[in-house]
Structure 1
Amino acid sequence: MNPDFVIQVAERGIYTTLIICGPLLIIALAVGLIISIFQATTQIQEQTLAFVPKIVAVLLGIILLGPWMLSHMLSYASEIFNNLNRFVG
C-alpha cells in the first residue's frame, strides 16, 4: 500500500463519519441555540431545561435519520470488506 492509498482510505472514513454524525450535531446545535435564546429572554437558568430537549431532539433525529445513517455505514463497511485484499496485500 502506498501512502496515497492510505490517505484516501482515511479521508473516506472521516468523510463518512462527518456525513453520519453531522445531521445529529446540527439538530443538537439548533435546539441548544433555541433553548439558550429562550433562557436568555425569560431569565430561567435551569440546567435540565437545556439538557432534556437536546436529548429528545437527538433521539428523534436518530429515529428519523437512522435508516439513512445505517445505509451509509453499511455501504462504507461493504466497500471496506470488498477491497480488503487491496488493504492487506
Structure 2
Amino acid sequence: MGADRALGFLNEMLWASLLVAGPVLIATLLVGILISVFQVTTQLQEITLSYVPKILVAAFLLIAIGPWMMGRVTQFASSLYLLIPTLAG
C-alpha cells in the first residue's frame, strides 16, 4: 500500500468523523454561546446553568440522529473491510 492510498484512507476517515460528530458539536456550541450570553446579560453565574442544557441537547441529538450516525460509521467500516483483499497486491 502506497503512501498516497494511506493518506486517502486518512482523508476519508477524517471527513466521516467530521460528518458524524459535527451536528452534535455544533448544537452544543450554539447552546453554550446562548447560555453564556444569557449569563452575561443577567449576571447569573450558576455553573449548572452552563452544563445541563448542553448535556440535554447532546443527548437529544444522539437519540434523534444516532441511528444515522451509526449507519455512517458502519458504512465506512464495511467499506474498509471490503478493501482489505485489494491491499495484498
* TM more than 0.5: yes
Give the deviation of 1:67 after TM superposition.
Answer: 1.1
Give the deviation of 1:26 after TM superposition.
Answer: 0.3
User: Which structure 2 residues correspond to residues 27-66 of structure 1 after superposition, within 5 A?
Assistant: 27-66=27-66
When the two chains are superposed, the root-mean-square deviation of aligned CA atoms in Å is 1.0
Runs of 4 or more above 6 Å deviation: none
List gaps (5 residues or longer) in structure 1: none
- Calculate the TM-score normalised by the size of structure 2: 0.95
For the residue of structure 1 that corresponds to 2:44, the secondary structure is coil
Letter in 2 for 1:32: G
Distance 1:18 1:4 in 2: 21
CA gap 1:76/1:39 in 2 versus in 1, 3 angstroms: same
User: Which structure 2 residues correspond to residues 1-89 of structure 1 after superposition, within 5 A?
Assistant: 1-89=1-89
For the residue of structure 2 that corresponds to 1:34, the secondary structure is helix
Give the deviation of 1:88 after TM superposition.
Answer: 4.7
Q: How many residues align?
A: 89
List gaps (5 residues or longer) in structure 2: none
CA gap 1:88/1:39 in 2 versus in 1, 3 angstroms: farther
Identity of aligned residues (%): 37
